[in-house]
A and B are shown apart, each in its own frame.
Chain A
Amino acid sequence: MSNTSADPRFATDFNPRTDPPLDFTDKSLGEMTADDYRALGFMCGLEVHQQILTRGKLFCRCPAGRRAHELDAEVLRHMRPTLSELGEYDGTALMEFKTKKEIVYLLERESVCTYEIDDTPPFEIDEEAVKTSIEVASLFNLNLVSELHVMRKQYLDGSIPTGFQRTAMIGLSGSIPFRVPELGVDRELRIRQLSLEEDSCREVSDVGHRITFWTDRLGTPLTEAVTEPELLTPLEVFAGAHLVARTAQITGKVRRGPGAARQDTNVSVAGGRRTEIKGVQHHSALPLLVHVEAFRQLNLLRVKAELKHRGVPSEMLQLPVKGLPWELSPLVADVGDALRGVDFGPIRDALETGQTVACVRLPTFAGLLAHTTQPGVTFAREFAERVRVISCLTARPFMIHSDVKDYGISSTKWRQLRQRLHANKWDALMVVWGPTADVATAAREICNRAQDALAGVPAETRQAFVDGTTGFERILPGADRMYPDTDTPPLRIPNQWVADIQSDLPERPWNRLLRYEALGLSPALARSLEQASWSFLFDGLGLHEGALARRVAFALERCLPYLRRSGVDPWLPAAMRVRPLIEAVENQRVRVEALEACLCALVSEPDVQSDKILARFMIKKDEPAKLEVLADQIGERLVEIGAKGEDVALRWAMGQVMPHMLGRMSPAVVEGKLKEVLAARSHP
């Protein structure tokens, strides 16, 4: 069933290369080179979701960005699959239907109305959200639609009470400069499309047949930017995600904070097919996730190759779709009797509470279930996850298999089961237990997954775990899950809107970067400044190319994060408060060494007038005299240390004197004076 799934946005789900490098040695992320990934046929695309900063939600007038505090009510729903274009149920629909989930929505009066729980049709689309998404689309150089059509994208997982997400295409086919010098990347990153859509619910729990969601986030406007699958290494994925996110953020009209930006990645390797890792919140998690996924696919392809070699036909793994499999198929047996009184708690408990224990024979799968697919994870987990999600088994554990010898039931019992199912030594057995109906679903799902193994990589969405591995989430939705929303009229995007927005676009991040580099900033400093919240302050200072610009960028980078860390409010002064300092440095009224200290004072003492602060750092006439006094004060000790060597003594002396002279006198002058004192006192 999963073989028929396809996302229409991707002309094909399959990697263009069909030759998996089966003999490639598994390596860790750190050991891999760009050439290694090329050998794997690694390719990855991103879907970057970014909530837009609006006061209200996209299709109703509830406040956006509010996190619910109080539970006011709960609503229970089910999602019934609808017929596809061909009058049949598609893969996802069938799967979700199989799960027969009770979906519970938690409501808070302040954050949701009757629209979110699908008891009222949508109101007019939020115009600000549309305009912001046009702005973002313009930054991506996308071709803009002239009339916006709201579509329904079906989701049967319950994450949206209507069963579909309202979404509208904003622009298509753009590209942005993708330049990462340290990765040797200097090309265009093509952006396939940008759509404006409503956010889904927050999942609270998913246990057995009941999944629970908070609805507060539901309906918040967000943009989804989709890149072409042209990111060729995990570090490129990281850089690409960063660039795409940054481009939206530069508008200043997007939400920040936990959950406000999330990305999905589409990964495949040669011979594999696109799998989607959903909802990754931190860019830093991406490289390991996509790396592990690449090798998971490679290992599934190794299993496929071995199965092909062993020659089991897919039809042999087919179970009847209805009824109890153990009554209808020689592949499955109810082994409750055989295992009664067994010395393994989970199965014993299941039998004592009247549950069913079934054994499934997987012809020619012996040994493969123990094959490693992800770090610390074997192929058997692919089965276990599918079974847990689809048949809703909640016991832990709920299954064992014959490739693991020292856990579960004794070898004598395994032998009995082998006889019972007429299994030979090439066959693997899986034992699964739980409520009868769920075990029937589980047995079917085990066979479905086994059939998928013959095809290689199933098209699925996967959830990310913190250790970099992923787990099955659901089958990738079918092609025909998008249809027009008949509740909302098309919205005309007037030329005037586009003209107004495009005449006032913020400077694109890559242009800003070039501008900083042109000022003489190093690529690394330019990049960190470009991403810094104080870049606008920097821009407002009107700096010219050269050392001062570098110095200011540095000073800002050192001073602001430091103050923030030490608990000072990250208050950014206006450019006009800082500009006199720059002028003073240019006119040599303040030494360049004092720049950072003075800047810190300007930021951390917002209530003190800037000229008062500046005055503290001005070069003063009495400085030589002051240095004289200071040098005199430490003279004795200086000579003592001088015995250990001049360098040591000078370093110590600079440390003593410079804090008092910082910005008042050049370090070279201070050092000269100290040398003088040392020489004079050592050799009187």
Chain B
Amino acid sequence: MSDDKELYKGYREPCLAIMKRFGITVWSEVRAHTSRGQFEGLVLPRSETSDADHLVLKLISGYNMGIRYDTIESLEKTGYREAHYKIPEKAFPTDPSKPRVKLLGTGGTIASRLDYRTGAVIPAFSPGELYGSVPELADICNLDTDKLFGVFSENMGPEQYLTLAENVGAAIAKGYDGVVIGHGTDTMHHTAAALSFMVQNPPVPVIMVGSQRSSDRPSSDAAQNLLSATWAAAHGPIAEVMVCMFGPTSDRYNLLHRGTRVRKMHSSYRSTFRTLGDIPLAMVECGKVEPLKKDYAPRRDDRNVTIQAFFEERVTLLYYYPNMHPDLLESMIDLGYKGIIIAGTGLGHVNRKIYPALEHAKRAGVQVYMTLQTLWGFVQMHVYETGREILELGVVPLANMLPEVGYIKLGWALGVHPNDPEAAKQLMMTSVAGEMTSREPHDGYLIFQGGIPEVKDFLERVWQ
């Protein structure tokens, strides 16, 4: 049966029966006689998510097309052509005068090549494969790689955070000059926050990188991201947990964002990662790291780092909306959640309706913290009556901590102090890795409004 699966990869009834009738499997070259005329090509595997009615042919011209089963009169097998695609391994050149960088893989593809027939992306990950596809890496450093897991970004979770933190610790201990982590972009900022708390005061850069356009396309941001991240890890002066992604949408420079202040802000733009409430740490361009902030943690020669790989999973993030009913909060308490981050409105508000539930949480020892769905600005609960009332109910304001960062931090803090809620609370209220800042610079909040003449002028001059 499993053989059949390979032979008829992805095909189900009614196509399957027709293929069997005419002795056709995937990778067969066929001449198909159909009610819509004659077609010649190579039978490709069928995607599992596509319908069951069509046979996919790759034509000699390189085009693919589907033939519907009920148009097929006969299939004539004229040959067989199977190929397996592999990234060529080329020995990564070593140069003792260059720094050593460790690349940890989580499953997102940063470098890859294509199976030109199916369109499947074949990831390049080993140093040899990476050298084959991004040879410029060898000009930057000596590269070692470890593939830790193969999960999509959306499936990254506490288990992976812990493994990742431990591996970063190990790489630092082994004397690497920098660590690069390849990661899917969707939850990169969650993982960046987790590592910021779990790997404290690293002596070398720990840099997360991914791509918004997969590397099988010529316009991909992958190579520039990988090269910039690797450069910053090998040579950059900043020893923090950071995200390194495109600055503008143009291919010009990358930005290094602090792991606790960065957020993915657009579903598909290349310049999707932004530092919120502050300015980015640095620009990276053509082998040069240009710090924008002065108060970064500098690279050190020692190997001292605090690894605190813990996470309490019973925490949650509640996005408040007007007229929210208390039963939501109640059910979280009943389900045994130990901590709740609320993303509140305005300066950190929720409606009176849920006060009883907040009171219940307090009684039940469930910690409740306030962050902002405005993303920018500080929680300031003393300004209005509502805020003061909520404070009375034991809700703890988290200054300008981003909601997702609050969620990650709470999981970590309760993990570090599983039996000491008060210590966890103290930890939450102390800035560990820049997640809460004492002040917001005037240009920490910049969302330009399109269409305004001066913005248009700016874009014309500066965007590219």
A-to-B contact residues, CB < 8 Å? 8-9, 11, 71-85, 87-88, 104, 109, 114, 117-121, 142-149, 151-154, 156, 161-164, 167-169, 172-173, 193, 195, 479-486, 489-490, 492
Contacts and interface: CB of A to CB of B under 8 A. Distances in A.
A120 B268 contact: yes
Contacts of B85: 85
Q: Which of B65, B87, B266, B456 has the most CB of A within 10 A?
A: B65
Contact of B63 (A143, A480, A482): A482
B388 interface: no
A161 B219 contact: yes
A154 B85 CA distance: 19
A416 to B, nearest CB: 39
B66 A73 contact: no
B132 A87 contact: yes
B91 interface: no
Q: Which of B83, B114, B115 has the most CB of A within 10 A?
A: B114
Top 8 closest pairs, chain A to chain B, by CB: A147-B66, A143-B37, A163-B218, A482-B62, A484-B119, A87-B88, A146-B68, A76-B464
B59 A172 contact: yes
Contacts of B117: 483-484
Given A143-B36, A162-B219, 8 more contacts: A72-B456, A74-B460, A120-B269, A145-B66, A146-B54, A149-B66, A169-B64, A489-B50
Contacts of B37: 142-144, 172-173
Contacts, number: 180
B438 to A, nearest CB: 35
Nearest to A71: B460
Contacts of A79: 218-219
Nearest to A193: B61
A71 B463 CA distance: 13
Contacts of B39: 143, 145, 172
B54 A147 contact: yes
Nearest to B121: A486
Contact of B464 (A74, A83, A143, A193): A74
A479 B37 CA distance: 26
Interface residues of B, number: 62
Contacts of B54: 146-147, 490, 492
Contacts of B249: 75, 117, 119
A481 B62 CA distance: 8
A77 B251 contact: yes
B50 A151 contact: no
Given A82-B215, A490-B50, A169 B252 contact: no
Contacts of A172: 37, 39, 59
B463 A169 contact: no
Interface of B: 34, 36-39, 49-51, 53-54, 56, 59-68, 71, 83, 85-88, 113-121, 132-133, 213, 215-220, 223, 249-252, 266-270, 450-451, 456, 459-460, 463-464
Nearest to A145: B65
Nearest to A144: B36
Contact of A152 (B51, B53, B217): B217
A-side binding surface: helix, strand, loop or mixed?
Answer: loop
Contacts of B116: 84-85, 480, 482-483
Q: Which of A82, A88, A151 has the most CB of B within 10 A?
A: A82
Q: Which of B60, B118, B219 has the most CB of A within 10 A?
A: B219
A82 B114 contact: yes
A149 B39 CA distance: 15
Nearest to A192: B61
A82 B216 contact: yes
B-side binding surface: helix, strand, loop or mixed?
Answer: loop
B245 to A, nearest CB: 13
Given A8-B61, A114-B269, A492 B219 contact: no
Contacts of B119: 152, 483-486
Nearest to B213: A118
Nearest to A155: B218
Contacts of A169: 59, 61, 63-65
B133 A83 contact: yes
Q: Which of B54, B64, B88 has the most CB of A within 10 A?
A: B64
Nearest to B268: A120
Nearest to B269: A119
A411 B115 CA distance: 56
A80 B227 CA distance: 13
Contacts of A117: 249
A117 B213 CA distance: 12
A627 B451 CA distance: 74
B71 A146 contact: yes
Given A9-B61, A82-B113, A195-B63, A164 B217 contact: yes
A97 B118 CA distance: 25
Contacts of B65: 145, 147-149, 169
A76 B459 CA distance: 12
A82 B217 contact: yes
B218 A164 contact: yes
B251 A173 contact: no
B190 to A, nearest CB: 23
Contacts of B266: 119
Contacts of B59: 169, 172
Given A73-B460, A87-B132, A492-B51, A146 B66 contact: yes
B118 A484 contact: yes
B413 to A, nearest CB: 37
Given A9-B61, A193-B61, A482-B61, A163 B132 contact: no
Nearest to A86: B88
Nearest to A168: B63
Contacts of A153: 62
14 contacts: A76-B251, A77-B219, A80-B218, A82-B216, A83-B114, A88-B88, A143-B38, A143-B39, A145-B39, A148-B66, A164-B218, A169-B59, A193-B63, A492-B51
B218 A119 contact: no
B218 A75 contact: no
Given A87-B88, A119-B249, A490-B50, A8 B270 contact: no
B215 A151 contact: no
A76 B252 contact: yes
B73 to A, nearest CB: 13
A389 B170 CA distance: 50
A142 B59 CA distance: 15
Contact of B67 (A104, A146, A167): A146
A475 B114 CA distance: 22
B67 A80 contact: no
Nearest to A78: B251
B67 A147 contact: yes
Contacts of A118: 213, 219
Given A149-B56, A152-B217, A482-B116, A76 B250 contact: yes
A142 B68 CA distance: 17
Contacts of B133: 83
B293 to A, nearest CB: 26
